Structure 1
Amino acid sequence: MTSHKTESTSTDRSPPSRQLRDEKLKSLKRLAYGASHEINNPLANVASRAQALLVGETDPDRRHELATIYAQAMRGHEMIADLMLFARPPQPQLGECTLSEIASEAVEQMFPLAKMQETELNLIAAEQDIRLTADANLLTLATCALVRNALEAIKSGGKIEVTLATDHDVATIAVQDDGPGILDEHTAIVFDPFHSGREAGRGLGFGLTKCWTIAQAHGGDTYVDTAYGPGARIVLEIPLSPKTKLESE
């Protein structure tokens, strides 16, 4: 469902709290890059060895044990892949795109999951389409991560709105839900890798970390709108013109 609403954001984009958060996450990126290489190689060896042993194994119990080893090694490998996206994100492939196309694709991808848990998922577009130069695939991934985070917060029922807007030279995608909200003490750490906000109803994983990484790659930002409530509202800001600032660390 798509409706139209005019919205303008006036939030300070570089408050001290977000500057400190960004510096902390950049330090974590350096740690993640080194750790991921050290962990990934042994995991790959465990997975390949378990898979090779499975080929010639006929005992059902041993096959089950080997299959479990392989599955857990691959689970670890997937986590490392997410960690690598955080530590060494891909350079955005910039192109002309529209915010409505990006958000519509994300909502379409997440709609089956929303329907499964009976959560209403709406897209509220701007009155005039917002054109920008960005990596549409990465921004779709970031928007999906925000919607998934909201779905995990609500768990069942409820409502999520994806709102598009522009403020001067910045495009914004805001995802808000009517779930339990984010505790004040968690607003500064929800973008940390492996942060668990289960006490506040949030999910576990790299969803919001991916969103921050993609925003940074475009020279943008993402933050929790603490003025919104009840529920939670997380905003993704992307410059209309490219300002990529990926680091070579």
Structure 2
Amino acid sequence: MANHSNDDTVSEQIQDLSGAIGTGLELEGALNALTDLSRQLIDSSACGIFKFEGINAHLITTHNASPDLERAVQDFHTSGQTDQVFTADNPVVLSESGEETSYALAPISAQEHPLGIFAFACNRSVYTAPELDLIATLSRQAAIALENVGLYQDLFETHHKLKASQTQLVQSGKMAAVGQLAAGVAHEVNNPLQIILSRVQLLMMRHKEEESLVKDLDLIESNVKRISRIIRSLLDFARHNSGQEEWKSIDLIYLVTQTANLMQHLMEKGDIEVTITTADGKSPQVYGNVSEVEQIFLNLLINAQQAMPDGGRIDIELSTDGQTTTAMISDTGEGIPEENIGRVFDPFFTTREENGGTGLGLSIIYSIVDKHNGEVSVKSEPGQGTTFVLRFPSKGSQDDSEET
């Protein structure tokens, strides 16, 4: 009768823990609670849950383990003895030569996929059948905990990716609308602008001997040409953001220059100097969607400008080794605190909420770069500026493309 009562108590304890594991999402707490209960139920000197990465066995619970248990499990794994645990699909008792302690190792699996091992150290060589059955039950609870948290993490990541994709889709629609508006404005402004330019040049020819007048007309001409360059940039922007653009070879120096021209007024107003350089005078080419690659540089320039409220410098360096095209965008701004470096590409992470920041700019950049089979990284120190490094598969330099 006593044994029956004890079995009921054990069953209730496991059931309570199973309910907590089934509804809980905090992995460390669930697994530590599991090892606490396991030490109560199994006469052992130590126990722990391990995951394997290559030849390494990693302890993932902080309660009830011991250095000797960690060493023994690592030795068993290195020697290949842990393989028989998954082959048997039941607890296996192992021991080391010359040692009194024996170890019961139970597989932790989900849908026939090995997740880890639940290990017990005991100062005896024999385990009863009920003990081994109980260890198997406890290992199944560990599998449920690991699987639940894995599923939650997958769901969490999928949810954030979906939100980012939805936001990017909305942003693309807005960009297409802005592109159509820009095209209309550009065409309307460009016609009278060309008339003004032709009249100014005509006046310069007629009054070329009047130095003071020519000087004023020259100033008008240079500014009209500047407006004309902005108009061309707007037309390019409109064409690239029509929402129907196909992928093609992109002249990166031209795209970056045109994007910088769009920002020229803001940069000059903010006392920010922008320089663009290329290695060997060659213009690297990448294959992709022009509007999306343009958006990468536009977002980075806007970020850099906002990081330098008192003015500064932005250097854009483009290079290619024939296989990879690299763009380095460096600013002399306020920099990024070390604790934020790992989060800058997270959707909705921003330190500029009070200024209307949404935390989407860099996450969109990351998404676009990834879509183009590229990589983006960031280096920064507070007060020392920030450098973003973009790497894309090369389409070949402009010289190479002209030869072919």
TM range (shorter): 0.5 to 0.7
Is 1:153 aligned to 2:242, yes or no?
Answer: no
Say if 2:231 is the partner of 1:142.
no
Stretches of 4+ aligned residues off by more than 3 angstroms? 23-27, 82-85, 201-205, 226-229
Q: Which amino acid aligns with 2:363?
A: T
Q: Which of 346, 360, 366 is matched with 1:192 structurally?
A: 346
Name which of 353, 358, 365 aligns with 1:211. Answer: 365
The answer on 1:100 being equivalent to 2:253 is yes
* Larger Rg over CA atoms: 2
Partner in structure 2 of residue 55 of structure 1: none
User: Is 1:28–2:181 an aligned residue pair?
Assistant: no
Is 1:122 matched up with 2:275?
Answer: yes
Normalized against structure 2, the TM-score is what? 0.38
Matches within 5 A, 1:25-174: 28-32=160-164, 81-82=170-171, 93-127=246-280, 128-174=282-328
Measured after TM superposition, the shift of residue 174 of structure 1 is: 1.5
Residue type of the alignment partner of 1:115: E
CA-to-aligned-CA distance 1:172-207 (integer Å, 9 cap, x gap)? 2221111111111111111122211249x9955322
Distance in 2 separating the partners of 1:235 and 1:202: 26
How far apart are 1:144 and its partner, in Å?
0.7
Q: Deviations over 1:144-168 (max 9, x none)?
A: 1111111111123111111111245
Q: 1:132 to 1:80 in 2, by over 3 A?
A: closer
Structure 1: which 5+ residue stretches go unaligned?
1-22, 37-77, 242-249
Deviations 1:25-59 (A, max 9, x none): 665212445xx5xxxxxxxxxxxxxxxxxxxxxxx
Is contact 2:336–2:381 with CA below 8 Å preserved after alignment? Answer: no
> Hey, what's the Cα distance between the residues in 2 that align with 1:202 and 1:164?
31
1:221 correspondence with 2:310? no
Give unmatched runs, 5+ long, in structure 2.
1-153, 175-242, 396-404
User: 2:316, 2:328 within 8 Å by CA — same for their partners in 1?
Assistant: yes
- CA-to-partner distance for each residue in 1:205-245, whole Å, 9 max, x for gaps? 3221221111011011211035898210011222125xxxx
CA displacement 1:73-130 (0-9 Å, x = unmatched): xxxxx89824999xxxx89832122211121111111111111211111112222221
Contact 1:25 1:192 in 2 (8 A): no
Matched residue of 2:263: which SS? helix
CA root-mean-square deviation: 3.5
Letter in 1 for 2:273: E
Percent identity for Structure 1 against Structure 2: 26
1:233 lines up with 2:387 in the alignment: yes
**Shift in CA distance, 158/25, structure 1 to aligned 2, threshold 3 Å:** farther
Give 1:142 shift.
0.6
Could you give the per-residue CA deviations for residues 1-29 of structure 1, whole angstroms, max 9, x where no partner exists? xxxxxxxxxxxxxxxxxxxxxx9866521
CA contact (8 A) 2:336 2:382 kept: no
Following the alignment from structure 2 to structure 1, what is the Cα–Cα distance between the partners of residues 157 and 272?
32
Q: Report the Cα distance in structure 2 between the residues aligned to 1:225 and 1:202, rounded to whole angstroms.
A: 24
Q: Which TM-score applies when normalising by structure 1?
A: 0.59
Q: Is the 8 A contact 1:118 1:156 kept in 2?
A: yes
Task: Determine the C-alpha separation between the residues in 2 that align with 1:190 and 1:202.
Answer: 16
Instruction: Give the structure, 1 or 2, with the largest relative contact order (CA under 8 Å, sep 6 or more).
Output: 1
Inter-partner Cα distance in structure 2 for 1:94 and 1:163 = 24
Is 1:94–1:134's contact at 8 Å kept on the other side of the alignment? yes
- Aligned twin of 1:58: none
Relative distance call for 1:123 and 1:26 in structure 2 (3 A) is farther
* Counterpart residue identity of residue 106, structure 1: T
Change (3 A) 1:230 1:102: same
